[in-house]
Amino acid sequence: MLTSVSGYYNGSQIVMDEPVDISKGQKVIITLLSSAQNVSEKREIDLHKYTGRGKQMFDSKSGVDDYIKGLRENDRV
């Protein structure tokens, strides 16, 4: 059986939100999620560190058309 169940920790044990038939000794995987306090905090993402690659590739005197033309010249056998 492979299933995923949400729940919460009440201070002494984990309480599942829905009943699941589990046998004694059955292996489980427990994933601890961020608390609600941490989830509400939004991190600022710096998009500038992911942009600019195109400018570096095509910032030449010949431009994009010449770059693509050069790629196509040697793509035939």
Predicted confidence (pLDDT) per residue in 19-62, tens digit: 988 899 999 998 888 765 544 566 777 777 766 666 655 555 55
CB-CB contact of 55 with 40 (8 Å): no
All structural domains of the chain with their residue ranges = 7-35+45-73
SS3 of 10, please?
coil
pTM over 0.85: no
Q: What is the pLDDT of residue 12?
A: 92
Alpha carbons 73 and 61: distance in angstroms, whole number: 19
Q: Mean of the pLDDT values across residues 59-66?
A: 64
| First-to-final CA distance of the chain | 53
Q: Which residues pair with 7 in a beta bridge?
A: 16
Q: What is the pLDDT of residue 57?
A: 57
